[in-house]
Amino acid sequence: MKNVIFAAIALVVFGCAPASNDNATKSDAANTETATATTAPAPAAPEEKPMSYYQDKVAEIHTTMGEIDVRFFPDVAPNHVRNFIDLAEKGFYNGIKFHRVIPGFMIQVGDPNTISGSRGTWGTGGSEKTVNAEFSSIPHKRGILSMARTNDPNSASSQFFIMVNDYPSLNGKYSVFGEVTKGMDVADKIVNVKTQGGDQPVDPVPAIEKIVIRAAKDDEKGPAPK
C-alpha cells in the first residue's frame, strides 16, 4: 500500500526584524521625532476577497501533456478553495512540475522547488502559508482533487493531488476541495510516465504551464458529491 500522500512540506518561517535607524536610537526627542517622521509606513495588507468570489469557479490546469479542468467545493473546504485560487491567480503554479506519480493511485504537484531546486528537494516545498484541515465525508474516488500535507493535519500549503483510482484509506484524512470535470485522460497520461526512485517522473517531467481560473459553466456547477 502506498502509505504516504504527504510530501514532507518543510515550510520555513522567516522572522522579519524591523530595519535599524540610527536616529531612533538617540535619546533626545528631536532625533526621535525625525526618525519617526521619515520612516515609511508599512504596506497595507492585501484586501481579502469575499467568499462569494470563490463560488462557481473552475480551474483550467494547462499542463505539458494536456488540459485538466477542475471544479471546486467551497461549501465543503472554503479555505482550501480560497488558497488554491489565490495562488493560481498569482501565477504561483506556473512552471511547477509533477514530482510524484503512482499508477493506480494519484498524481501530485505544487512544489515550487521543482522549478529550480535539485531533485533531492522535490516534495519538500510549499507556499508562504498553511491551511487548517477541512476533512469531510467526500470519498477519495477517481477524479477527486485533494490537498497534500505532512503528518500535521493543519499543514496543507500548495501541493495537491488528483486521484486516478478510488482509495478509501484516504477518506477523512485529507482535505478534498474539488473534482476533475475534464481531462482525466491527461491525468492517466501523466501517471504512466517513466519514473525513478521516490516515484519521481524522469525527463521530460510533466509540468503545469499555467492555471486559468474562470466562471463555471452551467454543466460544471452543482453540489459537492457525497
Helix (H, G, I), strand (E, B) or coil at 102: strand
Per-residue pLDDT band for 30 (boundaries 50, 70, 90) equals very low
Query: For the whole model, what pTM was predicted?
Result: 0.81
Which residue, among 203, 187, 172, has the nearest Cα to 105 in the 3D structure?
187
The answer to whether the beta carbons of residues 192 and 65 sit under 8 Å apart is no
User: Before 139, cis peptide (omega within 30)?
Assistant: no
Higher pLDDT, 28 or 92: 92
Q: State what percent of residues in the chain have pLDDT above 90.
A: 76
Count, residues in the chain: 226
Lowest mean pLDDT among 13-27, 86-100, 193-207: 13-27
**DSSP alpha helices (H): ranges in the chain?**
29-38, 78-89, 113-116, 184-191
The answer to whether the beta carbons of residues 192 and 164 sit under 8 Å apart is no
Per-residue pLDDT band for 41 (boundaries 50, 70, 90) equals low
Residue 220 identity (one-letter amino acid): E
Which residue, among 40, 170, 63, has the nearest Cα to 106 in the 3D structure?
170
Pairwise CA distance, residues 148 & 170, whole Å: 11
Which residue, among 9, 1, 4, 7, has the nearest Cα to 173 in the 3D structure?
4
Residue 180 confidence (pLDDT) = 98
Q: How far is CA 165 from CA 108, 144, 158, 168, 203, in A?
A: 13, 9, 22, 10, 24
Residue 40 confidence (pLDDT) = 53
pLDDT at 215 over 60: yes
pLDDT one-digit tens code per residue, 64-100: 999 999 999 999 999 999 999 999 999 999 999 999 9
| Cα atoms found within 13 Å of the Cα of residue 166, Cβ hemisphere only | 3
pLDDT at 13 over 80: no
Per-residue pLDDT band for 43 (boundaries 50, 70, 90) equals low
List CB contacts of 105: < 8 A, sequence separation 6 or more: 2, 163, 164, 165, 167, 191
pLDDT at 157 over 70: yes
Domain boundaries, the chain: 58-219
pLDDT at 9 over 60: no
Lowest mean pLDDT among 8-12, 90-94, 202-206: 8-12
Residue 12 confidence (pLDDT) = 31
Which residue, among 111, 97, 110, has the nearest Cα to 64 in the 3D structure?
97
Torsion of CA 104, 192, 68, 149, to 10 degrees: 60
* Check whether domain 58-219 has CATH 2.40.100.10, yes or no: yes
pLDDT at 27 over 90: no
